[in-house]
Amino acid sequence: MQRTPGTSPTLTLVPGVDTDWEGRKLHIRRRRRGCVSKGFRVDSLATGQCLCGAVTFRISGEFESFFLCHCTRCRRDSGSAHSANLFSSTAKITWLSGEANIRTFRLSGSRHVKCFCTICGSALPFSQPDDGVLVVPAGSLDGALGRRPDAHICFSVRADWDDDLASLSRFDEFPA
- Other C-beta atoms closer than 10 Å to the C-beta of 71 total 21
The predicted-structure confidence for 38-91, as pLDDT tens digits, reads as follows 555 554 579 999 999 999 999 999 999 999 999 989 899 998 989 999 999 999
pLDDT of residue 164: 86
Tens-place pLDDT, residues 26-50? 433 333 333 333 555 554 579 999 9
Judge: domain 39-159, CATH 2.60.120.10.
Answer: no
- Which secondary-structure segment (H or E) carries 76? helix 72-78
Burial of 8 (0-12, 13-18, 19+ CB in 10 A): middle
pTM exceeds cut of 0.85: no
18 close to 1: Cβ distance less than 8 angstroms: no
Give the C-alpha separation, 89 to 144, whole Å.
Answer: 22
- Among 137, 154, 147, residue whose Cα is nearest residue 51: 137
What pLDDT does 7 receive? 43
Q: What percent of the chain has pLDDT over 90?
A: 51
Domain ranges of the chain: 39-159
Top-confidence residue, 66 or 166: 66
- Residue 69, classified by CB atoms within 10 Å of its CB into exposed (0-12), middle (13-18) or buried (19+), is buried
pLDDT of 119 reads 98
Mean pLDDT of the chain: 80
The pLDDT of residue 22 is 37
